[in-house]
Amino acid sequence: MDLEKNIQPLLSTKQIEEKIKQMGEALTQAYQGKELVCVCILKGSIVFFSDLIRSIDLPLTIDFLRVSSYGHATVSSGEVRLVQDLSQSIEGKHVLIVEDIVDTGHTISFLQSYLKAKHPKSLALASLLFKPSRTECEVHIDHLGFTIDNHFVVGYGLDAAEKYRNLPYVGILQTNEESS
Ligand code: 5GP
């Protein structure tokens, strides 16, 4: 496929599927009898989110937050801006933030303080990916899919200038020098 020309596969569809099944089982255990709201961080988390919520065997509600951090660059500016807010109150509810990737940690630190101020009963984080070598803020990930090395990855919701989100796996985007 033309879309995959510059991509080196990193995590296969099957690996992701298996991991999400395990995460779903752990989340189903953790939130038994609790009122759970899953918050999808747009746009990158949308594919992970839609698979993860279907692996949680509990009644739950969903909501969306959109932040902008990178613009079209592949390096974090450290600046996070809220673009779209929640549509419901989360006061007194158990909230699970669903992120695609924690890189420097600026986005998630911003989101955690933003949501804490809305007084949820609990606030936890599920992230598909984590790049520990890039961390600049201390972040605790309650439910983690995969730890990866310092690569710029795309696919399974993650983009580069809005492309590649529809790849069914996660791959490393090769720079021109690497792919030539
Ligand atoms: P952080 O604030 O932790 O540095 O970055 C978090 C956000 O940056 C993620 O939600 C994601 O949108 C973007 N990001 C960080 N690393 C990558 C990456 O390797 N690939 C892509 N496509 N986006 C990334």
Reported as a pLDDT band with limits 50, 70 and 90, residue 117 is: very high
Residues 6+ apart with CB under 8 A from 6: 173, 174, 179
- For ligand 1, say whether the CB of 100 is within 6 Å of any of its atoms: yes
Q: What is the mean pLDDT of residues 128-141?
A: 93
Minimum-distance ligand 1 atom for the alpha carbon of 137: 3
Quote the pTM value: 0.93
Q: Is 115 exposed, middle or buried (0-12, 13-18, 19+ CB in 10 A)?
A: middle
> Is 2 among the residues known to form the active site?
no
Task: State the catalytic residue, choosing from 57, 103, 142, 149.
Answer: 103
Reported as a pLDDT band with limits 50, 70 and 90, residue 180 is: very low
pLDDT in tens, 41-95: 999 999 999 999 999 999 999 999 999 865 545 555 567 889 999 999 999 999 9
Residue located nearest, by CA, to atom 5 of ligand 1: 103
- For ligand 1, say whether the CB of 102 is within 6 Å of any of its atoms: yes
